[in-house]
């Protein structure tokens, strides 16, 4: 259903402010209908279609072709070919030769990868096609693309051979500790099911050696209308879309005979077993206790929907308890969770899992299982249920409020789940009614009965430990894990003790200030306020969303004002203060006080500035402003939470060092900035000893004891006249004593000349190339646009040359930034993953492309693609609160004209090929760059040897 994924991940916040009046009482045994917002139909050949008219974003249509077949359908000689077919969909068809499809779509503003894409999973393959509707012919061509994908792929043998190299590079990219550990675990996780034998990426020997007819056989067998759906949601006329679907897809025929579409079973585990898997490159240590797998049944009645509401309440309440454990000075785990979770679309199980810290696996298992026992035995308290219910109701309310302002992509995802998993689609209006009418009737006794039947007491379990293989720290033995599990299940536990908390952030509002000046910017729809304490506010009420307000403020200063000896305290001051809560409330206490409220505030010290960010629902603006006011006034000191925070940082830093990418990224930073104390690098574990709780708090208070020189920008769904008194009260009463609000040049400069480094790390035969160009540059909005155009063109060319022509990479990208502080400067970075045997070829081809851009500039076609995509994106962004907030805020800091947002398209259209060519000459300076290449640890002569496997211990 529309809201289930949102609710299960994190139940938002805020009490329902009005009752939904139902026409008639809900009947629990009534079937859940298909909502009126969507037209669902089926052609005679079995193809299903979904059509919904939705005006956000305007003049755009989201199209999907869904095939109910994935890697599970592969024969033994086809392992990896479901995914390979997906690749071939972009490499030639009845109406589009190789490159023509991507080239055409880019020409109308559809970006390959970011917009145009596809994915293959165990049970499905989904093709993603967003289409701008500026030109009438786009619609017809889009449906021709979908039809070609459905039954018109070419499978040219020369193209298959070229694509083989690209898919093998994708397989290489996925190799590493996670892949090695997974291959050891999947037979246990899936309990001997076919799922463990059919990973979508497939087997390397099959990908290298399959015959083209083997690929064609998969396409013939499984790309057929009775296994397909077309989803169309957007700014369209539904009857016209239905006509196009019938015209393009009615002719499709099912093969005779058709192979049966069978879903793989997963057997129920009856015996308890422990599995320990280690790898010296693992990203951390974790534990999983998986209870017996059971079939998933999506609700088809209102009663079933109610059961899912109860499940979501259960997940939220149990999650809050485990979060509380993670905030202890010596927590049993760094992060933990217990919940029902899907293993596949049709199987689920109750799981308890944790990321382990210094306490070790047995301690984590004991804490997780004991809490499960506590909940099963004593249930939840009424206060816990009340909070979870408030949060859930507010989540539903916000989704309902935004029903006319929701992007088409969200609806598309819902219809995909309906087709693939039978998830009901009654529409948010119906779901809002279900929630508002049924949630108040969920009792504490019902929740506790649900907990007892959901958390199995006596059942076979799979206990999994995965971790870093360290010579000085042996992993736990399976017997120790099972002993900890058994002891926790038999332990005596006391009922959960609810801490008594206040019900409001502030007993009374502060004595407010006043508005002393108000001016209007009618062109941009802005209201400028000056408050009596000198604080300024820029308001932009919008109708982009119905239940969203965003706010920010920034000024110069930040970490630059502190000496090198204080840099770590300054760098972590905001994170440390945030980790301890506000006033007498810990972060978890704060979440309880704010139950039913959608409001959040963050504040921090960046390198040369201080930044504040805030957001809320339309009815929670005062709560947001109260939180912001308290961030200036109510810093909390908590040594236990400080120890917990530092302990987690140390463990994360230690785990990071085990990964091959850590040495690589550290070398990139070192090559650019040497040993400068301000270099933007992750800390080593021992460096956290240098951080002082009291000094970090002191730095935070120094910078946020005053709101001097802050201009708050507020954008969203609010009434300006109603908000002004709140702004005067909370922002107008902020202290504004004098403090420096300018940045200091700390002397951080990148290396000059050509610097080359090689890093040998990692057991897999993988390499990554990093190229970073830096230097001085004059900052302006026009120059930013030229630099970004160069990057966009470069990305098109790198994919075209290195991937499509040479098959040397699966993916790679360039990015750039232009800044004016502490001096006019630019950074242009290129990252290219490839094989170690191809490094020299990739470098040669990449630098040849640099030189070509300098010599010839971009082609007219490539530059036109960039412009069209920018214009499409900008049109969508103009209806986003966050975009306006960011543009206004950056204009304040950079000293640029915020009205430039209104002339974006004119400036884009004025951009010429020579501008990009000159940018290439300016920024791709091959006499001033840093090159770092990651190679595997093995010597070149051992390149063909296999990587060290993960270690499996039963």
Residue-wise pLDDT for 367-390, tens only, equals 999 999 999 999 999 999 999 999
pLDDT of 178 higher than 90:
yes
Same domain, 773 and 880: yes
Is residue 954 one of the residues assigned to a domain? Answer: no
The Cα 414–Cα 384 span in angstroms is 30
pLDDT of 928 higher than 60:
yes
Is residue 747 one of the residues assigned to a domain? Answer: no
781, with CB counted inside 10 A (0-12, 13-18, 19+), is middle
Is residue 2 one of the residues assigned to a domain? Answer: no
Query: Tell me, what CATH number does 346's domain have?
Result: 3.30.830.10
The residues, ordered by sequence, that sit 6+ positions from 929 with a Cβ below 8 Å of its Cβ are 754, 755, 771, 772, 773, 774
- pLDDT above 70 coverage of the chain, percent: 96
Nearest to 549 by CA among 627, 658, 481, 476: 627
Same domain, 474 and 379: yes
- For 177, the enclosing helix (H) or strand (E) is helix 177-189
What's the confidence (pLDDT) of residue 457?
85
Record the pTM: 0.94
Quote the number of domains for the chain. 4
pLDDT of 10 higher than 60:
no
- Asked if 481 contacts 461 with a C-beta cutoff of 8 angstroms, the reply is no
What's the confidence (pLDDT) of residue 951?
63
The Cα 927–Cα 752 span in angstroms is 9
Instruction: State whether residue 920 is helix, strand or coil.
Output: helix
Is residue 627 one of the residues assigned to a domain? Answer: yes
CA atoms within 13 A on the CB side of 431: 29
Same domain, 387 and 453: yes
Average pLDDT of the segment spanning 656-670: 95
Same domain, 486 and 519: no
pLDDT tier for residue 22 given thresholds of 50, 70 and 90: very low
Instruction: State whether residue 220 is helix, strand or coil.
Output: helix
The Cα 408–Cα 58 span in angstroms is 10
Same domain, 847 and 925: yes
Residue-wise pLDDT for 126-136, tens only, equals 999 999 999 99
Average pLDDT of the segment spanning 251-268: 95
Same domain, 716 and 570: yes
| Number of other CB atoms surrounding residue 205 within 10 Å | 10
Same domain, 822 and 890: yes
The residues, ordered by sequence, that sit 6+ positions from 18 with a Cβ below 8 Å of its Cβ are none
Distances (CA, A) of 954 to 230, 272, 422, 624: 46, 12, 37, 51
Mean confidence (pLDDT) of the chain: 94
Average pLDDT of the segment spanning 908-916: 98
Average pLDDT of the segment spanning 82-97: 97
The Cα 322–Cα 333 span in angstroms is 9
Conformation bin of residue 202: beta by default, left when phi > 0, alpha when psi is -120 to 50:
left
Is residue 564 one of the residues assigned to a domain? Answer: yes
Is residue 917 one of the residues assigned to a domain? Answer: yes
Same domain, 306 and 376: yes
Residue-wise pLDDT for 311-347, tens only, equals 999 999 999 999 999 999 899 999 999 999 999 989 9
pLDDT of 943 higher than 90:
no
φ/ψ of residue 308, rounded to 5: -70, -30
The Cα 205–Cα 765 span in angstroms is 16
What's the confidence (pLDDT) of residue 297?
87
What's the confidence (pLDDT) of residue 25?
85
Is residue 255 one of the residues assigned to a domain? Answer: no
What's the confidence (pLDDT) of residue 953?
54
Is residue 551 one of the residues assigned to a domain? Answer: yes
What's the confidence (pLDDT) of residue 14?
29
Range of the domain at 221: 38-249
Same domain, 861 and 813: yes
pLDDT of 18 higher than 60:
no
What's the confidence (pLDDT) of residue 633?
87
Same domain, 440 and 536: no
Same domain, 291 and 161: no
| Number of other CB atoms surrounding residue 850 within 10 Å | 21
Same domain, 565 and 449: no
């Amino acid at each position: 259903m529309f809201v289930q994924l949102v609710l299960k991940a994190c139940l938002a916040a805020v009490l329902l402010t009005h009752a939904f009046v139902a026409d008639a009482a809900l009947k629990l045994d009534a079937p859940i209908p298909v909502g009126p917002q969507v037209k669902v139909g089926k052609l005679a050949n079995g193809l299903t279609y979904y059509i919904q008219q939705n005006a956000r974003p305007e003049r755009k249509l989201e199209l999907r072709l869904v095939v109910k077949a994935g890697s599970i359908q592969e024969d033994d000689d086809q392992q990896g070919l479901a995914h390979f077919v997906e690749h071939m969909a972009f490499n030639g068809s009845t109406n589009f030769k190789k490159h023509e499809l991507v080239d055409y779509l880019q020409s109308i503003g559809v970006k390959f990868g970011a917009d145009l894409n596809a994915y293959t999973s165990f049970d499905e393959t989904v093709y993603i096609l967003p289409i701008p509707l500026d030109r009438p012919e786009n619609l017809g061509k889009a449906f021709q693309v979908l039809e070609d994908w459905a039954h018109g792929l070419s499978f040219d043998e020369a193209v298959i051979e070229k694509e083989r190299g690209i898919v093998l590079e994708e397989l290489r990219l996925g190799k590493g500790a996670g892949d090695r550990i997974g291959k050891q675990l999947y037979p246990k996780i899936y309990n001997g099911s076919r799922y463990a034998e059919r990973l979508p990426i497939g087997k390397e020997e099959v990908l290298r050696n399959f015959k083209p007819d083997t690929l064609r056989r998969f396409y013939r067998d499984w790309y057929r209308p009775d296994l397909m759906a077309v989803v169309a949601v957007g700014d369209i006329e539904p009857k016209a879309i239905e006509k196009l679907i019938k015209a393009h897809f009615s002719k499709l025929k099912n093969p005779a005979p058709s192979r049966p579409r069978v879903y793989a079973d997963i057997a129920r585990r009856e015996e308890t077993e422990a599995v320990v898997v280690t790898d010296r490159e693992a990203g951390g240590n974790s534990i999983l206790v998986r209870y017996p797998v059971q079939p998933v049944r999506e609700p088809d009645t209102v009663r079933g929907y109610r059961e899912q509401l109860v499940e979501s309440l259960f997940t939220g309440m149990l999650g809050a308890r485990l979060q509380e454990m993670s905030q202890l000075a010596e927590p049993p785990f760094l992060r933990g969770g217990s919940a029902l979770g899907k293993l596949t679309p049709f199987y689920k199980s109750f799981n308890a899992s944790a990321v382990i810290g210094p306490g070790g696996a047995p301690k984590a298992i004991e804490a997780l299982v004991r809490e499960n026992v506590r909940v099963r035995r004593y249930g939840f308290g009424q206060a816990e249920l009340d909070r979870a219910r408030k949060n859930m109701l507010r989540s539903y309310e916000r989704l309902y409020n935004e029903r006319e302002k929701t992007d088409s992509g969200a609806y598309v995802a819902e219809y995909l789940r309906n087709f693939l998993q039978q998830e009901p689609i009654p529409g948010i209006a119906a779901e809002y009614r279900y929630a508002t009418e049924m949630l108040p009737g969920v009792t504490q006794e019902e929740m506790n009965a649900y907990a007892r039947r959901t958390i199995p007491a006596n059942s076979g379990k799979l206990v999994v430990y995965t971790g870093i293989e360290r010579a000085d720290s042996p992993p736990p033995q399976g017997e120790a894990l099972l002993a900890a599990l058994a002891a926790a299940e038999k332990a005596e536990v006391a009922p959960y003790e609810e801490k008594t908390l206040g019900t409001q952030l502030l007993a009374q509002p502060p004595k407010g200030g006043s508005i002393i000046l108000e001016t209007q910017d009618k062109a941009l729809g802005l209201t400028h306020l000056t408050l009596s304490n000198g604080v300024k506010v820029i308001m932009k009420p919008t109708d982009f969303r119905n239940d969203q307000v965003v706010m920010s403020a920034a000024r110069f200063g930040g970490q630059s004002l502190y000496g090198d000896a204080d840099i770590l305290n300054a760098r972590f001051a905001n994170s440390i203060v945030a980790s301890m809560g506000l006033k007498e409330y810990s972060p978890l206490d704060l979440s309880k006080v704010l139950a039913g409220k959608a409001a959040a505030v963050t504040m921090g010290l960046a390198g040369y500035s201080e930044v504040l960010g805030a957001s809320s629902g339309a009815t929670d603006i005062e709560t947001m402003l109260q939180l912001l006011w308290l961030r200036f006034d109510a810093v909390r000191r908590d040594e236990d939470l400080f120890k917990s925070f530092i302990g987690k940082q140390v463990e994360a830093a230690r785990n990071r060092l085990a990964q091959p990418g850590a040495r690589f990224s550290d070398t990139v930073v070192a090559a650019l900035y040497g040993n400068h104390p301000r270099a933007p690098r992750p800390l080593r574990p021992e460096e956290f000893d240098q951080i002082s709780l009291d000094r970090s708090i002191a730095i935070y208070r120094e910078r946020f004891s005053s709101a001097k020189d802050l201009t708050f920008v507020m954008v969203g769904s609010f009434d300006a006249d109603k908000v002004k008194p709140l702004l005067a009260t909370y922002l107008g009463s902020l202290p504004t004593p004098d403090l420096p609000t300018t940045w200091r040049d700390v002397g951080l400069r990148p290396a000059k000349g050509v610097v080359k480094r090689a890093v040998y790390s990692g057991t897999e035969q993988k390499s990554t190339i990093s190229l970073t160009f830096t230097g001085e540059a004059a900052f302006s909005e026009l120059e930013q646009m030229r630099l970004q155009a160069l990057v966009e063109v470069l990305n098109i060319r790198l994919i075209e040359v290195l991937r499509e022509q040479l098959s040397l990479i699966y993916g790679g990208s360039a990015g750039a930034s232009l800044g004016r502080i502490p001096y006019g400067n630019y950074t242009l970075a290129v990252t290219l993953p490839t094989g170690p045997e191809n490094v020299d070829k990739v470098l040669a081809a990449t630098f040849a492309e640099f030189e070509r851009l300098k010599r010839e500039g971009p082609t007219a076609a490539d530059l036109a693609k960039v412009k069209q995509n920018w214009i499409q994106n900008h049109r969508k962004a103009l209806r986003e609160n966050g975009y306006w907030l960011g543009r206004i805020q950056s204009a304040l800091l950079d000293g640029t004209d915020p009205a430039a947002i209104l002339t974006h398209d004119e400036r884009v259209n004025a951009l010429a090929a020579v501008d990009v060519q000159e940018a290439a000459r300016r920024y791709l300076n091959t006499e001033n760059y840093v090159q770092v290449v990651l190679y595997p640890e093995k010597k070149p002569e051992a390149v063909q040897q296999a990587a060290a496997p993960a270690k499996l211990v039963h």
